[in-house]
Amino acid sequence: MISIRHIVKQYANHRALDDVSIEIEQGKVFGLLGPNGAGKTSLIRIINQITAPDSGEVLFNGEPLNQVHINRIGYLPEERGLYKKMEIGEQILYLARLKGLSKAEAQKRAKYWFEKLEIQGWWNKKIEELSKGMQQKAQFVATVLHEPELLILDEPFSGFDPVNAETIKNEILELNKKGATIIFSTHRMESVEELCDSIALLNLSHKILDGKVKTIRNSYRNGTYVLEYEGEQVRMPGAAPFAILKETSHDTHQQMILKINAGSKVNDVLQYMLPLASINKLEEVVPTMNEIFIQKVGGATSSNQ
């Protein structure tokens, strides 16, 4: 769908993107991750043709990016904004028509979306009269009204309460099911794991990691497990096939996080533990995207918001 090839973007004093290449597959949800200032917004602006790269190219379904593609992309910027003094319905029609929709068609679709998001009563209200959540919904409608093949969402859930965030998430997934490719830029790693098929991680203008979420997480496995058992805490006799990283003691059950020694297997752990305790659970701890993010970026600038 989108091939980003060797993009370089140079501003006066710093290089925002340095030889960045990313492939985004048709119909997938793609996470664009990175700390603040990593170059995400610069890249998004290039895909949106707001700015042009100094070198490199972006292909949209194999064609070099050009004006024709503008109407096939929907963009929800991180910093939301609508005309404060303009009526919300009129405003959405305006934005949709700027994306090439006819007035009648825009009207029809806007009605549909307003009902779907339960904001139909607000058509004639000015933006400044709406609550923040309501404004966000309106902005979301404006982004998707022209049924873009590619949806670029920059922190789509910020500003929503949990209920509305869930609504919007479901709408995004539904659009994805209908065939829209989604680029999803965020700091929130838990939503990345939930939504994204693949990701690319940018840091200091470079792409430092990309691939399928599952593959990435698996490649960061390091033999860490969580083990829970009943009863009193047991003492470990002799040489255990693992090292204990952390132990938590509760009244009736115990939990420990352990790392299997090199050369040992999960079965060795069970064999060792079975005579000692009544085991409830033994589960591998696959690193979360958050942990990988922090590890790769260095911890300093990451955030969970």
Stretch that binds another protein, among 67-75, 166-174, 215-223, 275-283 (CB under 8 A): 67-75
CB 162 to another protein: min, Å: 24
Rounded Cα–Cα distance for residues 256 and 97 (Å)? 59
Q: Contacting another protein (CB under 8 A), which of 99, 109, 187, 296?
A: 99
CB 197 to another protein: min, Å: 24
Residue span 122-161 as binding mask against another protein, x where in contact by CB under 8 A, dash where not = -----------------x--xx------------------
Q: In sequence order, which residues have a C-beta less than 8 Å from that of residue 180 and are 6 or more positions away?
A: 27, 147, 148, 149, 150, 151
Q: Does 39 bind another protein (CB under 8 A)?
A: no
**Are 33 and 199 within 8 A, CB to CB?**
yes
Q: Contacting another protein (CB under 8 A), which of 62, 79, 104, 252?
A: 79
295 token code pair: 């590890």
Geometric angle at alpha carbon 98, from 2 and 50, rounded to 5°? 45
- Smallest CA-to-CA distance from 11 within 37, 47, 49 is with 37
For residue 243, which phi and psi values (nearest 5 degrees)?
A: -110, 140
CB 304 to another protein: min, Å: 24
Q: Does 49 bind another protein (CB under 8 A)?
A: yes
**Are 84 and 129 within 8 A, CB to CB?**
no
Tokens 């680029």 belong to which residue?
A: 183
Q: What is the dihedral of CA 16, 17, 23, 28, to 10 degrees?
A: -10
CB 74 to another protein: min, Å: 9
Q: Contacting another protein (CB under 8 A), which of 2, 4, 7, 45?
A: 45
Give the total of residues touching another protein (CB under 8 A).
29
Tokens 């068609």 belong to which residue?
A: 105
214 token code pair: 């599952």
Considering beta carbons, is residue 31 or 148 the nearer one to another protein? Answer: 148
Q: Contacting another protein (CB under 8 A), which of 6, 14, 26, 52?
A: 52
Which residues sit opposite 229 in a β-bridge? Answer: 254, 279
Binding site for another protein (CB under 8 A): 12, 45, 48-52, 54, 70-71, 73, 75, 77, 79-86, 94-95, 97-99, 139, 142-143
